[in-house]
């Protein structure tokens, strides 16, 4: 009797769940002998993409779209030029999270290092070249673009060489060591009809994208001022950043550029004038050729005042604060590789509420690389083309001039737009 009751209970449960013995036996689209998957669990293929309905309750944020990587044969192949820290520690690992891009060749002055990197990323020995042999990339059909991760003063030469062999160029920031070099890079890529993008990773990072959205939406009223800081403690060891010929400057082009560029992409404007002060502690050989600190202010047509500080001999701080008419946005790690956060303060009735906004993390390097790959595949203008880097070079030259002359420097408007369409956030 107890067995009959238990059997009836089990059958009732199966009917209540929409499952039958036949479904259990056949498994429908699932594995034979198991319950039939529900549409929520099974998903579907829509326009070549596997999709699933939202499974979360109303209290939780819906899950995002499923990853949609291109097949390896359709991804844009990159030659990595220069195997320094940025390439080995950040860019090459980021290809593991990229969906439209892949590393297919290396150019390096260190054969031993290049062989080891090639082995770990499955790059054939025939696709590993010295700097002198870079033009051999012309004959490799897998290489559609190059990533340039060299010291600043080398960007111009290798951009011009890459353009001459018909390869698109993704170049690290700062774009060059001088305004003239940056202009030559833009002209060379235009002549060769290849795309040039500057690797402003923060413009592709989700929290910085959200900050742009908040400014444009007006949800906190008008943006009134910006405070941006990028400082770090630069070691005593010999490195190219202390060499003016290679770096083109000190803290300003290396890390202060993030502050400068952020004020431009947040306001969507170009500064009317700049005013700056610089300082280098005397007696320290690190600052014999470059500046240690630069404080600079930019004034924008909308009335926004941006105050920026960059230093090479201070504890790490990569923060930004946006002051609005009706609120404040704090971003403690705005310019970091990882760990971005955002806090929004505004009135909540009779109180002031400070809330944290949590956004899904995305690898900034993978996102910017995939954006460039999409532009190559779809023949679109990159969001941060050479014109964006050229404008920053002009502004940095004005900042140095202001610091030297002790007065504000008025800035002419760029001859045209410096940015392309906003980047896609899909994946």
* pLDDT value of residue 237: 86
* DSSP H or E segment with residue 228: strand 223-233
Whether residue 39 lies inside any domain: the answer is no
CATH of the domain at 209: 3.30.360.10
CA separation, residue 426 to residues 64, 68, 197, 362, 367 (Å): 10, 9, 19, 11, 10
- Is pLDDT at 373 greater than 80 in this prediction? yes
Is the residue at 88 inside a domain? yes
At 67 the pLDDT is 84
Q: Does the annotation count 78 as an active-site position?
A: no
In this structure, the answer to whether residues 224 and 277 fall within a common structural domain is yes
Q: Which of 186, 201, 216 is the last residue of a domain?
A: 201
292 and 158 co-located in one domain: no
Which residues in 8-38 are b (16+ Cβ under 10 Å) and which e? eeeeeeeeeeeeeeebeeeebeeeeeebbee
The residue segments making up the domain with residue 315 are: 205-360+386-410
Prediction pTM value: 0.90
- State whether 246 and 395 are in the same domain: yes
- Residue 246 CB: number of other CB atoms within 10 A? 16
194 belongs to a structural domain: yes
> Are residues 219 and 93 part of one domain?
no
Same domain, 233 and 304: yes
Asked if the structure places residue 137 within a domain, the reply is: yes
Residues 260 and 308: beta-carbon distance below 8 Å: yes
**Residue 230 and residue 274 in one domain:** yes
Phi, psi (5° rounding) for residue 171? -115, 135
Residue 10 domain-assigned?
A: no
Which of 158, 204, 258, 300 is labelled catalytic?
Answer: 258
Cβ atoms of 152 and 246 closer than 8 Å:
yes
Q: Do 292 and 401 belong together in one domain?
A: yes
> Does residue 247 lie in a domain region?
yes
Mean residue pLDDT of the chain comes to 93
The string of DSSP codes covering 230-297 is EEEE--SS--GGG-HHHHSSSHIIIIIHHHHHHHHHHHTS--SEEEEEEE--TT-GGGSSS-SEEEEE
The strand pair at 351-356 and 305-311 is best described as unpaired
Q: For residues 290 and 292, what is the distance between their CA atoms, to the nearest angstrom?
A: 7
Instruction: CATH number of the domain at 96, please.
Output: 3.40.50.720
- Token pair for residue 183? 């202009």
Residue 192 placed within a domain: yes
Q: Is residue 405 part of a domain?
A: yes
- 225 and 354 co-located in one domain: yes
Write down which residue in 154, 180, 201 finishes a domain: 201
Residues 404-411, mean pLDDT to the nearest whole number? 98
Do 325 and 196 lie in a common domain?
no
- pLDDT at 43 exceeding the cut of 70: yes
Phi, psi of 377 (to 5 degrees): -65, -40
Q: Are residues 180 and 92 in the same domain?
A: yes
pLDDT digits (tens, 9 = 90+) for 286-297: 999 999 999 999
165 and 111 assigned to the same domain: yes
pLDDT on residue 425? 56
- The answer to whether 270 and 304 are in contact (CB under 8 A) is no
One domain for residues 328 and 189: no
User: Tens digits of per-residue pLDDT, 170-191?
Assistant: 999 999 999 999 999 999 999 9
pLDDT of 424 reads 77
Q: What H or E segment, with its residue span, contains residue 168?
A: strand 168-171
pLDDT at 19: 42
**Active-site residue 34, yes or no?**
no
Catalytic residue among 102, 136, 173, 362: 173
């Amino acid at each position: 009797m107890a067995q009959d009751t238990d059997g009836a209970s089990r059958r009732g449960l199966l009917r209540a769940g929409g499952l039958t013995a036949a479904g259990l036996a056949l498994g429908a689209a699932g594995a034979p002998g198991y319950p039939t998957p529900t549409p929520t669990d099974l998903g579907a293929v829509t326009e070549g993409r596997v999709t699933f309905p939202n499974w979360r309750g109303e209290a939780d944020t819906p899950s995002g779209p499923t990853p949609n990587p291109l097949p390896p044969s359709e991804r844009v192949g990159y030659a990595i030029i220069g195997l320094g820290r940025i390439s080995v520690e950040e860019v090459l690992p980021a290809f593991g999270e990229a969906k439209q891009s892949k590393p297919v060749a290396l150019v390096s002055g260190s054969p031993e290092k290049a062989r080891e990197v090639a082995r770990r990323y499955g790059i054939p020995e025939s696709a590993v070249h010295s700097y002198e042999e870079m033009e051999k990339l012309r004959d490799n059909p897998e290489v559609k673009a190059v990533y340039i991760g060299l010291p600043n003063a080398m960007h111009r030469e290798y951009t011009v060489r890459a353009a001459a062999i018909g390869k698109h160029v993704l170049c690290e920031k700062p774009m060059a060591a001088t305004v003239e070099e940056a202009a030559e890079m833009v002209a060379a890529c235009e002549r060769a009809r290849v795309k040039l993008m500057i690797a402003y990773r923060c413009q592709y990072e989700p929290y910085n994208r959200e900050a742009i959205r908040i400014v444009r939406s007006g949800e906190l009223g008008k943006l009134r001022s910006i405070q941006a800081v990028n400082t770090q403690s630069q070691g005593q060891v010999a490195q190219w950043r202390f060499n003016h010929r290679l770096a083109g400057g000190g803290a300003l082009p290396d890390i202060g550029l993030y502050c400068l560029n952020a004020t431009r992409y947040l306001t969507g404007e170009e500064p009317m004038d700049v005013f700056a002060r610089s300082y280098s502690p005397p007696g320290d050989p690190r600052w014999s050729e470059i500046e240690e600190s630069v404080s600079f202010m930019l004034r924008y047509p909308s009335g926004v005042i941006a105050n920026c500080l960059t230093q090479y001999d201070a504890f790490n701080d990569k923060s930004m604060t946006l002051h609005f008419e009706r609120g404040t946005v704090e971003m403690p790690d705005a310019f970091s590789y990882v760990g971005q956060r955002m806090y929004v303060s505004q009135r909540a009735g009779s109180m002031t509420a400070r809330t944290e906004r949590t956004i899904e993390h995305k690898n900034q390097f993978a996102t910017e690389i995939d954006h460039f790959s999409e532009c190559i595949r779809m023949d679109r203008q990159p969001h941060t083309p050479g014109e964006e880097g050229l404008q920053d070079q002009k502004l940095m030259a004005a900042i140095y001039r202001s610091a030297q002359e002790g007065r504000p420097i008025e800035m002419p408007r760029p001859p045209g737009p410096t940015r392309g369409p906003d980047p896609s956030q899909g994946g």
